[in-house]
């Protein structure tokens, strides 16, 4: 239900026609997307996105119990927004590469916590052999077969496909055989060439990122999609980014969720020039995503990137997923995130309930494992 007040605010902002098309279930154009980004009344925009969110998911707010593993931060790419990557393994420069035993043990040690997913992302390490990655997944999978392995970004697959002469499909197949069953959405950044040239010109291109995901979808591997916003990109470039994702989703249906990632400015090459995106920008970006990406089931507010409070508020701006407990996160904490290192399930429940939603623990494919009914123990 959209309140009369929100209806009137949308009319006043000249968004009446977009509202009518959203309510009729019609697809929005790129020009509509841009108009929504420029909407003056954030609450009215949020109400429209909330309408779509509730039509799809009712009051449910999803989360999972997950742990992150970053086996190395050594990386040959020089993404200007990244605070995590190092050029070598030297402790003095905070570079590291885990031994296989160490990496496997880090994951297995979380078994008593009821974790259902491990999210693995590394750097583009110049010398680790291919069997480091296949063995890593094979060992985790053998020791803990029920754990879903969500592993490696499209950027890593493209790098290995070239470096080891495997091609993308074989790289994906070999890691799928080793235990990977879904791909995280990292590395997408902003697809527009103008932006990519300036912030990440020496890693996979937009076309390659999309092709890795297209190939994964063809192999039956579901994946996620991200967008890094709040740096040098323009609003029309955000819309262009989402359009390219929407087109691929029309083709394959393989994306599970869209995750806008708010830029964190500390300890990286471009941070000094930008403040962290405002709460206003975060909420409108999530709301526009919910309205524009009509073929995506889920929109996630990654609480690590937004902060718990803003992620909670986002549950009324089109968002239906907060990510998870996120044990062992490094990428954002090295970029100045001041959020806790992890959230307990009880805290996630509190945040969700206080926003008037019902916590639903999900698996990695949005199957509901348990709905924690209103105020239930």
Residue ranges in contact with ligand V47 by CB under 6 A: 81-83, 184-187, 189, 224, 226, 228, 259, 261, 263-264, 268, 302, 323, 331, 335
**For ligand V47, which is the closer residue by CB, 139 or 300?**
300
Task: Please check whether residue 106 is in contact with residue 328, taking contact to mean a CB–CB distance below 8 angstroms.
Answer: yes
Nearest-CB residue for ligand V47: 186
Q: How far is the CB of 43 from ligand V47 (least distance, A)?
A: 26
Q: How far is the CB of 130 from ligand V47 (least distance, A)?
A: 22
**For ligand V47, which is the closer residue by CB, 62 or 133?**
62
Residue 183, CB half-sphere, CA atoms under 13 Å: how many?
A: 34
**For ligand V47, which is the closer residue by CB, 187 or 254?**
187
**For ligand V47, which is the closer residue by CB, 215 or 224?**
224
Give the angle 111-113-116 at the CA atoms, nearest 5°.
70
Q: What phi, psi does 366 have (nearest 5°)? A: 65, 20
Q: How far is the CB of 14 from ligand V47 (least distance, A)?
A: 33
Residues 6+ apart with CB under 8 A from 24: none
CA–CA dist 147, 150 (Å, integer) = 9
Task: Please check whether residue 53 is in contact with residue 3, taking contact to mean a CB–CB distance below 8 angstroms.
Answer: no
Give the angle 169-173-179 at the CA atoms, nearest 5°.
150
**For ligand V47, which is the closer residue by CB, 6 or 268?**
268
Q: How far is the CB of 365 from ligand V47 (least distance, A)?
A: 12
Tokens of 341: 């290192």
Q: How far is the CB of 284 from ligand V47 (least distance, A)?
A: 18
Look at residues 131, 116, 210, 129 and name the one whose alpha carbon lies nearest to residue 177.
Answer: 131
């Amino acid at each position: 239900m959209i309140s009369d007040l929100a209806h009137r605010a949308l009319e006043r902002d000249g968004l009446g026609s977009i509202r009518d098309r959203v309510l009729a279930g019609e697809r929005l154009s790129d020009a509509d997307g841009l108009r929504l980004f420029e909407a003056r009344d954030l609450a009215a925009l949020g109400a429209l996105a909330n309408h779509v969110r509730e039509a799809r998911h009712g009051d449910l707010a999803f989360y999972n119990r997950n742990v992150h593993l970053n086996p190395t931060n050594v990386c040959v790419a020089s993404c200007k927004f990244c605070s995590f990557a190092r050029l070598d393994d030297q402790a003095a420069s905070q570079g590291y590469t885990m031994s296989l035993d160490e990496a496997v043990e880090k994951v297995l040690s979380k078994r008593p916590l009821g974790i259902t997913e491990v999210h693995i992302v590394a750097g583009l390490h110049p010398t680790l052999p291919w069997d480091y990655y296949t063995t890593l997944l094979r060992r985790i999978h053998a020791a803990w077969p029920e754990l879903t392995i969500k592993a490696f970004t499209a950027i890593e697959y493209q790098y290995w496909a070239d470096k080891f002469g495997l091609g993308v499909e074989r790289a994906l197949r070999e890691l799928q055989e080793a235990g990977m069953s879904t791909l995280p959405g990292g590395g997408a950044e902003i697809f527009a060439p103008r932006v990519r040239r300036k912030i990440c010109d020496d890693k996979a291109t937009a076309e390659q990122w999309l092709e890795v995901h297209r190939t994964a979808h063809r192999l039956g591997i579901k994946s996620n999609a991200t967008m890094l916003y709040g740096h040098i990109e323009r609003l029309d470039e955000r819309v262009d980014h989402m359009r390219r994702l929407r087109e691929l989703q029309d083709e394959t249906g393989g994306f599970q969720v869209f995750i806008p990632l708010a830029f964190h400015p500390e300890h990286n090459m471009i941070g000094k020039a930008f403040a962290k995106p405002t709460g206003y920008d975060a909420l409108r970006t999530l709301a526009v995503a919910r309205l524009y990406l009509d073929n995506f089931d889920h929109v996630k507010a990654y609480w690590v990137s937004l902060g718990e409070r803003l992620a909670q508020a986002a549950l009324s701006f089109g968002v239906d997923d907060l990510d998870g407990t996120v044990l062992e996160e490094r990428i954002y904490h090295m970029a100045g995130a001041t959020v806790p290192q992890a959230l307990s399930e009880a805290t996630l429940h509190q945040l969700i309930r206080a926003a008037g939603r019902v916590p639903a623990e999900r698996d990695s494919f949005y199957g509901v494992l348990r709905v924690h009914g209103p105020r239930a123990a």
